[in-house]
Amino acid sequence: MKYYIIAGEASGDLHGSNLMKELYKKDPMANIQFWGGDLMQSVGGTLVKHYRELAFMGFIEVIFNLKTILNNIKICKKDILEFKPDVLIFIDYPGFNLRIAKWAKTLGMKTHYYISPQIWAWKESRITDIKRDVDKMFVILPFEKKFYEEKHNFPVEFVGHPLIDAIHYQPIVDPDLFIKENLLNDKPIIAILPGSRKQEITKMLAVMLSVVKDFPDYQFVIAGAPSQDLSFYENFITQDNIKFISNRTYDLLRNATAALVTSGTATLETALFKVPEVVCYKGSWASYQIAKRIITLKYISLVNLIMDEEVVTELIQEDCNTKRIKVELQKILEPKNRSILLEKYNLLEAKLGGNGASELTAALIIKDLKSP
């Protein structure tokens, strides 16, 4: 079978790589062409375009880069026509993927969507496009099945969350070796996860690191994104107890005492590693003003959304400042607060189901392709 996969972000690259592994296991003759990143490329197949060329964050940023985005859509359509896949598999990244899905359905192509667009957060009107243009939807959050099936009468498959697989199969590195390899000291680690896009890293990293001087008994370690070079981060590393590690976020979280995390998939990853965290978010003024008028959710972190309560503190926009970060970080370093938070994390993991999301999704895709 021929599979064409489109992932436009770091998290999509991770989940796409695990899905590809399972597709190859179940279909040894699989021919996979994809938009993704280093993780997907390490599995096999043919990389068409790297997600670092695709990721634009915020409403204003998208407008400024509209010409590039439209050109990428044109390139994608041409490549799909030349490849002639048996199925298109979209991984999140809705602004781009739903455009391709609409075009593909007019040509009679089979369309599968793995990891639903967050239309429950905003742009719920996209359900019309999804019902028209998507043949199969595989959702990873427990409340999404109810949202699609009960509210919108659109059948979906809940496959569990692929992060559980990703974490479960991550090789465990000896802590002493990890510290030695990365030139760390013996102080407890506070992990800094500022995101993967240059725009968000620039917004977040300076304010996250502004509290370093207030915690001299800890070392702050930046999780460098695979899509960014060390040279980009060097301007932010201004104190001795700030360290940098590239492309080893899971190893870092496994050894961290606490974390400051930019909102996104990383908030859930941090929770699944049982690391107390403070969630931080700052966008451009214009993008934030637009977002708060059209997004009606109570929370921005996946942890709180799934639990439907404020399990982790969220510091958004003006609240994301040195004073508040210092206070909230101090709270999660206190034993009593850590204990309560870890109990909530255990309940969160139970809600997400067990291992096997990638394997189940691959099996369902292949089953659909083989059905008459």
* pLDDT at residue number 171: 87
d(CA 317, CA 331): 20
* Contact of 218 with 190, CB cutoff 8 Å: yes
What is the C-alpha separation between 239 and 243, in angstroms, rounded? 9
Q: What is the mean pLDDT of residues 141-158?
A: 95
Asked if residue 336 is part of any domain, the answer here is yes
- The pLDDT of 257-280, averaged and rounded, is 94
What digits encode the pLDDT tens for the residues 25-37? 999 999 999 999 9
258 belongs to a structural domain: yes
Same domain for 298 and 221:
yes
Regarding whether 246 and 313 lie in a shared domain, the answer is yes
Instruction: Answer whether residue 285 shows pLDDT above 90.
Output: no
Is the confidence at residue 294, as pLDDT, over 80?
Answer: no
Q: What is the pLDDT of residue 55?
A: 58
Which range marks the domain in which residue 215 is found?
A: 173-351
Structure tokens at 144: 């999404």
Contact predicate 138/91, CB 8 Å = no
Pair 209, 254 in one domain: yes
What angle separates helix 10-26 from helix 357-370, to the nearest 10 degrees? 60
According to the model, what pLDDT value does residue 184 have?
94
Domain shared by 272 and 133, yes or no: no
Same domain, 315 and 344: yes
Structure tokens at 52: 């670092």
For the cut 80, the answer to whether the pLDDT of residue 68 exceeds it is no
Mean pLDDT within 12-31: 95
Q: Are residues 211 and 226 in the same domain?
A: yes
Model confidence over 131-146: pLDDT tens digits? 999 999 999 998 999 9
Residue 290: its pLDDT value, please? 52
167 is a domain residue: no
- Position 198 scores a pLDDT of 82
At 82-125, the pLDDT tens digits run 999 999 999 999 989 999 999 999 999 999 999 999 898 878 99
**Whether residue 143 is found in the same domain as residue 25:** yes
Cβ 232 vs Cβ 197: under 8 Å: no
336 with 362, same domain?
no
| Position 219 pLDDT exceeds 70 | yes
Whether 168 is in a domain gets the answer no
Do 231 and 122 sit in the same domain of this protein?
Answer: no
Query: Domain with 48 in it: what CATH number?
Result: 3.40.50.2000
| 165 domain-assigned | no
Q: Which range (23-27, 143-147, 337-341, 352-356) has the least confidence?
A: 352-356
Task: Give the pLDDT mean for 294-323.
Answer: 88
User: Kind and range of the H or E element at 90?
Assistant: strand 87-91
Answer whether residue 286 shows pLDDT above 60: no
| pLDDT at position 263 | 80
**pLDDT digits 0-9 by tens, 248-258:** 999 999 999 99
Does 79 lie in the same domain as 188? Answer: no
Considering its fold, how many domains does the chain have in total?
A: 2
Note the pLDDT of residue 215: 97
Rounded to an integer, the average pLDDT of 237-253 is: 92
336 and 217 in a common domain = yes
Asked whether residue 35 is assigned to any structural domain, the reply reads yes
Indicate whether 364 and 326 sit together in one domain: no
pLDDT mean over 233-242: 88
What per-residue confidence (pLDDT) applies to 61?
57
Residue 166 lies in a domain: no
| pLDDT > 60? residue 58 | no
